[in-house]
Structure 1
């Protein structure tokens, strides 16, 4: 037996189609939330982020990368390359599309369900057709959209946090790489001085002007200097590779040029000012925690709204039997709250909300502490680096010059002269370390104020090694 849909049936189907069309108005945005992430990142790092979606986008980014890699790198250009080229960051930015898809899906009504049954027997045939719609899903669309909207905002903050963290890590890797190159150069000078000392000691020992003990000491120092040079060169290679990984370069692009020395210290250090207030306004982890608390509060409201009526479907039913007129009507399906009134779910949501509130407060307290610690490291490393630059290095240089005068006047031995030269080079290395620590501390301070980081500087001694090993 064949049947045809009646006018009421067509009206019901049309009404359902209209609801689906209305609920499907939300669409994926053109930028996918990337513009907001780029703006947040630019405010904190001075560099925007881009995610190539077409071949033209990829070609434009590659052209910019090629131009940056042709010139000696600065800290800013290294950060720029990382934000454009780091594949891990691109993967994080792709999560924005997932979050936005969930937001669009939350604004759409679930597809209606259609059922058809046919029963025959005793010369009769019964056909039943029904179309069911999720009314609760329709009513709660605004609430679900609001929740997913907040989750989308959270995804933007998470992506921006990853970008800011990558920028900070790249800046620190850059300063480590440049400092390692400087240290390797000075280690080569130490090795050269030690080699000259060992050669002179060998010549003097041959003519009987130097004891075997003194000659062994000079040869041991020369061997140790060679070992330190090898380690310094490896450290320079490792630091360079760390920078290359963060910038996402490989192949011929790893032949980027680094400057010969670190940037000079600023004339005056930054004052503390209102860094705690700035951190509360700009910290991305604080903003993310606040947004999470708001989302949890909205989810609590949704749980209360659907705590009792958790399934409610309504639809059109059409039934016909052979030899009988068609029967029309409707059907409502309601889950009765006999065993579960939703109290446990509401209590759980309230506990989750209070948990979120306390975590937000904890995040803010930690952020304030981190920014204070970061400023202490910043100011301390600045003072230490300035002392090395203005006092210790000039004093070492003066000692070396006075030693040279005494040597020319035959008032000291050549070994004492070489020992002073080695001490001067060690002092310069200590100054390089102090300068490197300042720039890393400055990066950490910026991250503590604007991003989600804190101080990573441990105030280890950067004093020159003792000279006892060089004394005879």
Structure 2
């Protein structure tokens, strides 16, 4: 009769534990968090992302890549290819699964432990059996689950941040590749003109109509132009390969086409209203540090809640001996805080929390500064590029036209005409660099507001006319 009561009590305890566990358990989501990541990425880049699943049909993605790479790339299509095809980004998405697995594990009670003991003394056999349940783990499931939920949300932000960063890098690599290719083609034209000038000087020197000094100058310019072509070709190849790496293309896919020149400047710079406020609301790094501070605060509460009793196991136990009735009962195991009162754990949690708070504040300060810096670079590069487009290049063209008129009127020699062409080299290269810098600064500004920032660069200083001419 007593045994039946013990069994009934044990069943009631086990049933109650099972109900509590099942009520608080967490299951895996259907999308693994990717829907939220894709939505955040699309909001900031205009392009969605997806994770490549094992044994999934890749034909739709392959067809999309084929269509995008089958025509000259644009900044948006380069970003789309990178987000679809970059294997490093796909690898980072796996961290979402790790974070979600931790969340699911936090919603379940720790597995019970079973112990069995058998002792023989002569002909007498003594057997002990017990099963133990982690009660503290059960009571703290809501707190632990809340902590892991915040960490899972933080993992989503981190995944979206990586996607946005990849989109930024791909867009900037695209502009660098197009500008480098444009410069290389222009330098090839310069080298061809320099070769013609050197050949003409050589022939005129042979008939005595040109001094050896002037011939040497023409030959030196041709030699320098040849070296600049080699450098420009390598720079174009390197910029193209960086874009290929970010897009994750290889073999036949690496034969993608780029346009001949950079996009034109917009008529007016884009007005930016309350850029710092937008950054505080949109930047993913700020949201990540906030979530991290919240998770740390919850962890601090858990540390304080379990400061004195952090191990409490309750279980059923029975004992049987030879020639005696089976004994039934229960066992409670409590860890006594005699040597370690968990003061170090609480102090550590408090220090980590304050670290998270200060890190959040530091991120906000840096974000505001980066937005101001990025906007300054954006406006400056726009004004400089517009100045080259509207003032420097037209003025150089006007000078060239005047020299050509003087040459046609036999008021200027062919070498004056070639010297003027050489003088245009620095201006044209500087105009290409200024136009490229504008599009890079535009990308950095959008990243500083919507992404994670931290990628603002100093504006490049174009080479002087003398250096560009090879003198």
Q: Same fold (TM over 0.5)?
A: yes
Does the 8 A contact of 1:128 with 1:319 survive in 2?
A: yes
Deviations 1:36-95 (A, max 9, x none): 100110010000101121544422111111111111100000000000000000011111
Question: Residue in 1 aligned with 2:74?
Answer: 74
C-alpha separation between the residues in 2 aligned to 1:145 and 1:110?
13
Matched, 1:394 2:380: no
**Structure 1 position 311, deviation (Å):** 0.9
Question: Residue in 1 aligned with 2:21?
Answer: 23
* Range that drifts further, 396-405 or 118-127: 118-127
Q: 1:243-392 maps to which residues of 2 (within 5 A)?
A: 243-392=243-392
Q: Give 3-state SS (helix, strand or coil) of 1:115's partner.
A: strand
Q: Give 3-state SS (helix, strand or coil) of 1:60's partner.
A: helix
Does the 8 A contact of 1:375 with 1:445 survive in 2?
A: yes
Matched, 1:12 2:10: yes
Deviations 1:413-471 (A, max 9, x none): 22221111122233122111100000000000000001111453312322652289688
**Structure 1 position 340, deviation (Å):** 1.6
Does the 8 A contact of 1:388 with 1:431 survive in 2?
A: yes
Distance 1:322 1:95, change over 3 A: same
Does the 8 A contact of 1:407 with 1:417 survive in 2?
A: yes
C-alpha separation between the residues in 2 aligned to 1:248 and 1:11?
62
Does the 8 A contact of 1:445 with 1:454 survive in 2?
A: no
**Structure 1 position 272, deviation (Å):** 3.4
**Structure 1 position 206, deviation (Å):** 0.6
Question: Residue in 1 aligned with 2:139?
Answer: 139
Distance 1:401 1:113, change over 3 A: same
C-alpha separation between the residues in 1 aligned to 2:50 and 2:388?
41
Question: Residue in 1 aligned with 2:34?
Answer: 34
* Range that drifts further, 342-351 or 247-256: 342-351
Q: Give 3-state SS (helix, strand or coil) of 1:466's partner.
A: helix
**Structure 1 position 338, deviation (Å):** 1.2
Residue-pair matches, total: 467
Question: Residue in 2 aligned with 1:234?
Answer: 234
Does the 8 A contact of 1:419 with 1:470 survive in 2?
A: no
Question: Residue in 1 aligned with 2:465?
Answer: 465
Q: 1:83-232 maps to which residues of 2 (within 5 A)?
A: 83-232=83-232
Deviations 1:165-206 (A, max 9, x none): 000000000000000111011101110110111011001101
RMSD: 1.8
* Range that drifts further, 238-247 or 56-65: 56-65
C-alpha separation between the residues in 1 aligned to 2:56 and 2:336?
58
TM-score, structure 2 as length reference = 0.95
Distance 1:276 1:404, change over 3 A: same
Unaligned 5+ runs, structure 2: none
Q: Give 3-state SS (helix, strand or coil) of 2:261's partner.
A: coil
